[in-house]
């Protein structure tokens, strides 16, 4: 009898733990199925192509900034945006560390040449906000310079917007637990190991330093003309869909009228003989 009672007690405890876990999940959206994700993304890709055609037709200038925590999924969002559009219209700017000459310039100077001209959509994979984040937290610039940047950059962005640029700023936020899971997944993955530089590891250890820097950055630079939009990205697929949908909603694009496409007739040449030009073929290993 004692053994049976202990067995029933353990079973009841297990059921209680399962119920508690289920209660915690109440209200959380279920993971997005791949089919549903790809269906939504296909629709959004079609809209991004409409945006591209509209920008080229009207000469619109669009600048999109992506900032956020390490491992928050900025690269995945950018890749999802670029998947079906022209690299001649959508261009990514991901600048390397500044040279000695660039260090002597006005801080934002090296970013200005990359701002969009007519018919361009520029995506900054990290931007001038490096000064408010990694440079400040990691001690690459004096605190005084970081504060001067925060005080001055809203006026620079106001000038950018007043020049006719549509400026969108996104911050991707991830939980501590999910960031740890993603960083650990990079350690043994040869496709991701390049994302774990000594700087990345040091940044990982400074969660709250980055939190304080982010908070002060928002307070100083979340303006009416260039607000910050925050996306929570523990669920990467939902974050990608939400961000693309949102950025489309912030741009007044319209479908550009165009003629229906019809393939022309291909030329005929009965006298042409196919040359044996493929002297160096790629080995067909697959």
Distance CA 113, CA 118 (A): 13
> pLDDT for 5-29, tens place per residue?
544 554 555 455 454 444 445 556 7
Give the side-chain half-sphere CA count within 13 A for 185. 8
pLDDT given at position 17: 47
Query: With 80 as the cut, is the pLDDT of residue 4 above it?
Result: no
Q: Is the dihedral of CA 73, 77, 83, 88 positive or negative?
A: negative
Residue 154 and residue 226 in contact, taking contact as beta carbons nearer than 8 Å: yes
> pLDDT for 132-147, tens place per residue?
999 999 999 999 999 9
pLDDT given at position 200: 83
Residue 15 and residue 22 in contact, taking contact as beta carbons nearer than 8 Å: no
pLDDT given at position 264: 93
By CB atoms closer than 10 A (0-12, 13-18, 19+), residue 35 is exposed
State the pLDDT confidence band at 109, using cuts at 50, 70 and 90: very high
pLDDT given at position 28: 67
- The residues with which 122 forms a beta bridge, in sequence order, are 63, 91
Q: Which of 9-18, 51-60, 209-218, 268-277 is the least confident region?
A: 9-18
> pLDDT for 38-49, tens place per residue?
999 999 999 999
- The residues with which 123 forms a beta bridge, in sequence order, are 64, 92
Cα–Cα distances in angstroms (integers) from residue 84 to residues 87, 196, 286, in the given order = 9, 29, 26
Provide CB contacts within 8 A for 222, sequence distance 6+.
Answer: 228
pLDDT given at position 279: 82
Distance CA 181, CA 179 (A): 5
Q: What is the DSSP letter of 228?
A: E
Distance CA 271, CA 107 (A): 64
Distance CA 52, CA 116 (A): 13
Beta pairing, strands 61-68 & 120-125: parallel
Question: In terms of pLDDT, which residue wins out, 86 or 276?
Answer: 86
Query: With 90 as the cut, is the pLDDT of residue 274 above it?
Result: no
CA-only gyration radius of the chain, Å: 25
What stretches of 202-250 adopt beta strand conformation (E)?
A: 228-232
Query: With 70 as the cut, is the pLDDT of residue 56 above it?
Result: yes
Distance CA 82, CA 45 (A): 9
- Please state, rounded to an integer, the average pLDDT across all residues of the chain: 90
Query: With 50 as the cut, is the pLDDT of residue 81 above it?
Result: yes
Distance CA 134, CA 126 (A): 10
Domains and CATH numbers, the chain: 32-249 (3.40.50.300)
**pTM for the model:** 0.86
Q: What is the DSSP letter of 107?
A: G
Tokens of 11: 């079973």
> pLDDT for 209-236, tens place per residue?
999 999 999 999 999 999 999 999 999 9
């Amino acid at each position: 009898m004692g053994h049976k009672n202990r067995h029933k007690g353990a079973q009841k405890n297990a059921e209680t733990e399962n119920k508690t876990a289920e209660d915690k999940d109440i209200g959380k959206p279920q993971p997005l199925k791949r089919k549903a994700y790809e269906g939504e993304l296909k629709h959004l890709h079609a809209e991004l192509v409409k945006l591209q055609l509209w920008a080229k037709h009207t000469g619109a200038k669009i600048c999109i900034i992506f900032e956020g925590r390490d491992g928050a999924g900025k690269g995945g969002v950018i890749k999802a945006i670029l998947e079906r559009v022209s690299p001649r219209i959508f261009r990514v700017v991901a600048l390397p560390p500044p040279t000695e000459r660039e260090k002597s310039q006005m801080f934002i100077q090296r970013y200005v040449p990359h701002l969009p001209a007519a018919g361009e959509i520029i995506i900054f994979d990290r931007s001038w906000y490096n000064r408010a984040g990694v440079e400040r937290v990691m001690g690459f610039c004096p605190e005084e310079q970081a504060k001067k940047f925060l005080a001055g950059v809203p006026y620079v962005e106001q000038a950018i917007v007043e020049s006719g640029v549509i400026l969108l700023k996104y911050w991707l936020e991830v939980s501590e637990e999910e960031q740890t899971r993603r960083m650990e997944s990079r350690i043994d993955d040869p496709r991701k190991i390049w994302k774990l530089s000594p700087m990345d590891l040091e940044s990982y250890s400074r969660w709250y330093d980055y939190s304080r820097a982010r908070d002060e950055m928002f307070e100083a630079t979340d303006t009416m003309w260039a607000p910050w939009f925050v996306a929570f990205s523990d669920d990467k697929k939902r974050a990608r869909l939400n961000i693309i949908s949102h950025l489309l909603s912030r741009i007044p694009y319209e479908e550009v009228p165009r003629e229906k496409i019809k393939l022309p007739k291909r030329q005929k040449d009965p006298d042409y003989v196919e040359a044996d030009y493929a002297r160096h073929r790629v080995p067909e290993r697959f």
